[in-house]
Amino acid sequence: MAEQGVLVGIDLGGTNVRAGVVSQSGELLHWEEQPIEAQRGPESGLATIAVLVENVVEQAHQPVLSLGIGSTGPLDRERGCIQNPYTLPGWEDVDIVTPLRERFNVPVALENDADAAALGEAWAGAGRGAASIVMLTIGTGVGFAWIRNGEIHRGVGGEHPEGGHILIDPAGPECYCGARGCLESLVAGPAIARFAQQAASGKRSPFLESAAEAIEAIEARHVFEGARQGDPACLELVDQTAVHIARGLASIMMMILPEVIVLTGGVLRSYGLMEERIRTELERVDVIIPARQVKLQLSQTGQQAGILGAARAAQLLLQEAL
Ligand SMILES: [Zn+2]
């Protein structure tokens, strides 16, 4: 029988940090959120996180066994450091594990946020019971993670693979990853927004031209809204997005053929508009692999996936130590 007590999961993003108390069977008991105010620097951020954890621990009324962090990367997991000046300005080589371990006197795990979310979904969401789960997050960027037999798949040197940047269209837009037409450059929210802004500048969409105050203010959500209202240019953009997502899913299926692909993120809130087209495209993949058997499922834990997965990482750390 497992030791009495709870796990704490921390989900650190570029804007907010969330912390929650999770039971050993994967039930989120209580959680809270705070702005991280990254521009105030890592010292202030670490203090915010410590206070937030103290607050949730106080609500737990049970001993905390271990603590996990799912953080926006890049990270150095070995050394417990965050190396992310991109979305956390000033956070270069910041040790987040040691201060939390010293303050709370429990083991502390650190994982990439995409890995943590997938771990959460595999433990307590749409991937429960499946041996191989891929999670694809399409929002501001495209996140990818693969959980095999309950554990995170790690690349060489323990690094996190970036499946969101697989090549889809070599003639597509440039991406900061160095490629043209990778999945993220075609289907992430900002990419859809750029296509929509081009359509509006070219006077191809009456809906988009009047959707926002300025052309630069047009966002991906306007495209989905326009499609719901039957705007032809928006429908075309949604169709294009669905085809690109389907190509990404097809590549993932060809390489991994997981039991479940969990879909999440802001863009996939409009999955209903794209589902039919995605499924039709995927039928073509069915020739050489049983793609139809791969379950495509929307996330069941939603925004709590990160907290749950960080807590699961904390639990796995305890089991490793046994
Ligand atoms: Zn890319």
For residue range 233-284, list pLDDT tens digits in order: 999 999 999 999 999 999 999 999 999 999 999 999 999 999 999 999 999 8
Cα(265) to ligand 1 centroid in Å equals 17
Res. 2: pLDDT tops 70:
no
Q: What is the per-residue pLDDT across 66-89, written as a single tens digit (0 to 9) for each?
A: 999 999 888 999 999 999 877 888
Question: Which residues sit opposite 28 in a β-bridge?
Answer: 22
Mean pLDDT (the chain, rounded): 94
Radius of gyration of the chain (CA): 20
Q: How far apart are CA 270 and CA 310, in angstroms?
A: 27
pTM of the model: 0.92
**Consecutive H or E run containing 277:** helix 271-283
Question: 210 CA to middle of ligand 1, Å?
Answer: 30
Query: Does residue 1 carry a pLDDT above 70?
Result: no
111-167: per-residue pLDDT in tens?
999 999 999 999 999 999 999 999 999 998 999 999 999 999 999 988 899 999 999
* CA 186 to ligand 1 centroid distance, Å: 9
> pLDDT at position 39, please?
86
Cα 160 to middle of ligand 1, angstroms: 15
Q: Which residue type, as a one-letter code, is found at position 47?
A: A
CA of 264 to the centre of ligand 1 (A): 19
Residue 168 CA, ligand 1 centroid: distance in Å: 10
100-to-65, 119, 258 alpha-carbon distances in Å: 13, 21, 35
Ligand 1 centre distance from Cα of residue 136 (Å): 15
Distance from the alpha carbon of residue 188 to the mean position of ligand 1, in angstroms = 10
Neighbouring C-beta atoms of residue 292, cutoff 10 Å = 11
